[in-house]
Structures are given as C-alpha cells and as structure tokens.
Structure 1
Amino acid sequence: MSDWKAKRFWKEATVEEGNGGFEVKLDGRPVKTPAKRSLLLPTRAMAEVIAAEWDAQEGEIKPHLMPATKTANAAIDKVAVQHAEVADMLADYGDCDLLCYRAEGPAELVARQAELWNPMLDWAQQALGVRLALREGVMHAPQDSAALAVLRDKTHALSAFELAAFHDLVSLSGSLVLGFAAAHQARDPEALWDLSRLDEIWQAEQWGVDEQAEEMAAVKKDSFLHANAMFTLCRQV
C-alpha cells in the first residue's frame, strides 16, 4: 500500500463562483485542501491558475508541479488559522531589514549599497510612511518603535492569501521593505530579487561564481517570483 499514489480521476477542472469566492471543481466536485477544508479562492484569476494546474496533471498526480495549489492550501490550512502569529513573525523583519544593514567596506560595496538600497528606503518613506534608519555592520540596533508599529499594522491588514504569498516575499529576500515593494508593484520583481542579493552578486564579481550557491539562489528566485505572482492574483478581478 505504501507504493500507492493518487492518479488523475477527472476529465475536466472548472471554476465556479459561489460561497463568497471561487471554487475549483473536478467534474463538478469541489477540490479540498489537505485538511479537508474548502479550497475557496478570493479571485477568479487565482482559481483559473489553480484549475489549469489540475488540468495539466496526467496519470500520477505530481503536487510539486502545482505551486499555486500549494500556496492556496497553505493560506487556508495554515495562515488563516494562525494569521496573527504569521503576521507578527513577518513584521519583525522590519527591525532587522536587510536594506538597513550596510557594509563597513570596501568602499565600492558601500557605494553600491547606497546607490541601490537607499531609493527603496526612500520609497518606503513615501509609500508606507516609515523611515528606517541605517546601521553599519551586522550588530542589531532597534528601529524606531513607531515606525515598526506602522509596518506591523500594514502586515496584519493583509488577508490570509496575501500573507501566505507575502511570507515568501519577505523571508526569501530578508527584507520587509522589499516584500512590500513587491506587493505594491513598485519595481519589477526580478529587479527586487537582485536587490536582495546585492552582496552575493558583488562577492561573485570579486571572487568568481559559486555554482552550488547560484543553483540554490535560482531555486529561491523561482519561489520569490511565484510568491509575487500569487500576491498579484489575490488582487486581480
């Protein structure tokens, strides 16, 4: 029995509106999450992407080829039931945001961080209403509590589906500011990902590319871009 794997049993995956959202149905039967909850989606656009994942399955079901379904399941089964805890965890990144911790040297790296990261902190001041302070080195220094409270409120205001995507935007980049920039579509998501890897890119330019590290980074980039796409789907009609 341990070798048994689920196989496609349906002919067609469709999207239907109802119950306050959009459902993906397999031959008329609604898809359930792993916890047996209704896979009720906030937008038709997201439901259509998930339906396409189910329609693309042939023979044995391959969950790793269904990233949108996986994210939606996480939003319903995990984030929705512990929304406050997840929001607090992500908001804490504001107190140690990647963009605030600057190298002490060499001068070229210091200059590049200022050139590329300062505009994002400027954006956060304009769009989010907070100005995070810079730190030199890696020792933690707390940010202004009022600024952190604003960022915390904005994080808690996200829906479960938004927060599920936001989790990866923030945790993969190491930056709450970059996560919000992606959510606000302030920059191209690939450009935002490159900003999160500024230090690694600079190191590779100096010492050469570490192929294993680049392979791992490519996997994380794909996850970041997927999270960005899922956040966007949350707000599409």
Structure 2
Amino acid sequence: MSEWAAKRFWKEASVTEADTGYGIALDGRPVKTPAKAALVVPTRALAQSIAAEWNAVAERIDPRVMPMTRSANAAIDKVAHQHAEVADMLAAYGETDLLCHRAIAPQELVLRQSEEWDPLLDWADSFLNARLMQTPGVIPADQDSVALERLRARVHAQDNFALTALHDLVSLSGSLIIGLAAQNGAYAPDMLWQTSRLDEAWQAELWGADDEAEQMAAIKRAAFLHAHEFFCLVSENSS
C-alpha cells in the first residue's frame, strides 16, 4: 500500500508497536514509505506526530502539510541507504563553516559577527572539543585536522533519523556548528536561525528588505524549525 494515495480512504490513523520501533496504521493496515518500506520510527512521540498528520487529512493527501511523514520517509528511503555519503557531506561544512568567514568592514558588521558568532565557536571548542579558526571573507581557513575529525566522528555517529534532521539544520544555516548546537540544545532554535541570517539582516537594514527574499527566508526558517522539532521527537525516550 502506498501512503501517497490521492484520496483519504481510512477512518483512523493509529500508532502500533514494531520490533524496531513504532509504526503507523490506517484502519489497522501499516503505512509504507514511497519506496515500499515499513514506516517505522524510533520513538512513540514521533509516531504519534505522524499519525496526527494522517488523521488531519481532509480529503486528499498533501505531503506539503505532512512534514513529519516526509522527514521519516527521507530517513528510511534515502539516508538509511546513503548514511556515509550524507555524513561526509555534512562534516565537510566544518571546513568552510559560515561562522568562520568574517567581514573585514564595516566595523559595525565586524563587531556584530563577533558578538553573535564567537560564542558559538567557543561552545564548539568547549562542548565538542573542536576549535574552528576564523578567516577573512571567503578565503578558506586552514582548519585543524583534529578538530575536523572530531566533528566528523560526531556526525557519522548519528543514526538515520538524527542525521536526517542534521542535514536540514546544517544545509539551511550553512553551518555545521549551528546544526550541532541546535541538536544539543545549546541555544534556542529560532535564535540560531536568526544568527545564521546575520549577514542578510545586515544587508536588509542597509538597503531595505526584498519581499521575495523575505518570503524565501520564511520558508527556510520554517524548515529549520521543523528539522529541530523532528530531532527532538526522534530523541525522546519511547514510552
């Protein structure tokens, strides 16, 4: 049974227990991913959130308003089969992390970057034992190989569901450190998102906001916050 049937055909979506976690059933029939794998997730909390999305369907299934289901599908159908490749891609952000590339002028922007980004680099140093170095502009920094390897090990150690969340947290923010800070609860997720948008906010203050850019930023912010929520549900103890 494909979960992407055009119209609602079930009365109730419910959570079921499985050998490796929790599944979702539609009138007792298990939901499968688009690739026909069992939609089984690691925590009851996530399964309940996915079931709520299915129960909220009115007439037609719209994946755009079922973000937990989409992320779970991605973890099972994609990340599970490309874990090493995805982890390598995300770990590589440490070599060119957004937080390391600093403006050289004007002084107000330099100070603002220092105020908002230095604490995150300090957190990575103390909590992750990985100090990344700053560099002017877009010039690549010669980062410490030991620090990069420690970050890489943390990324590779994540399971498929956590890595799915980290993918969006990092790719949307442009920062591996921001992604890991979000996962570890170092700062509020919305604050981390705003921190990743520091340069764009600066430009908007100077030249005014662009409506199209603001709309796109709002979409990305929602996706970032969803990725954090997905990770929190994945990380909750099953009960």
Is 2:112 aligned against 1:112? yes
Shift of 1:19: 1.5
- What's the secondary structure of 2:61's corresponding residue? coil
TM-score (norm 2): 0.96
Partner of 1:96: 96
Structure 1 residues 75-224: aligned runs within 5 Å: 75-224=75-224
Stretch deviating more after TM superposition (137-146 or 102-111): 137-146
Superimposed CA distance per residue, residues 51-97 of structure 1 (whole angstroms, 9 cap, x where no aligned partner)? 00000001111111111000000000000001000000000000000
Shift of 1:141: 2.5
Shift of 1:99: 0.2
Superimposed CA distance per residue, residues 72-126 of structure 1 (whole angstroms, 9 cap, x where no aligned partner)? 0000000000100000000000000000000010000000000110000011111
- What's the secondary structure of 2:32's corresponding residue? coil
Stretch deviating more after TM superposition (132-141 or 113-122): 132-141
Partner of 2:59: 59
Shift of 1:13: 0.4
The unaligned stretches of length 5 or more in structure 1 are none
CA distance in 2 between counterparts of 1:128 and 1:17 reads 35
Give the residue type in structure 1 aligned to 2:83. Answer: H
Stretch deviating more after TM superposition (79-88 or 135-144): 135-144
- Segments of 4+ in structure 1 off by > 6 A? none
Shift of 1:142: 3.0
Stretch deviating more after TM superposition (132-141 or 165-174): 132-141
CA distance in 2 between counterparts of 1:62 and 1:198 reads 34
Give the residue type in structure 2 aligned to 1:107. Answer: Q
Give the residue type in structure 1 aligned to 2:151. Answer: L
CA distance in 2 between counterparts of 1:20 and 1:215 reads 40
CA distance in 1 between counterparts of 2:8 and 2:22 reads 22
- What's the secondary structure of 2:78's corresponding residue? helix
Give the residue type in structure 2 aligned to 1:162. Answer: A
CA distance in 2 between counterparts of 1:171 and 1:224 reads 9
CA root-mean-square deviation: 0.8
Stretch deviating more after TM superposition (132-141 or 43-52): 132-141
CA distance in 2 between counterparts of 1:60 and 1:139 reads 50
Give the residue type in structure 1 aligned to 2:22. Answer: F
CA distance in 2 between counterparts of 1:116 and 1:133 reads 15
The unaligned stretches of length 5 or more in structure 2 are none
CA distance in 2 between counterparts of 1:77 and 1:61 reads 19
Partner of 2:37: 37
Shift of 1:16: 1.3
Superimposed CA distance per residue, residues 212-236 of structure 1 (whole angstroms, 9 cap, x where no aligned partner)? 1111100000000000000111111
CA distance in 1 between counterparts of 2:176 and 2:102 reads 16
Q: Percent identity?
A: 59
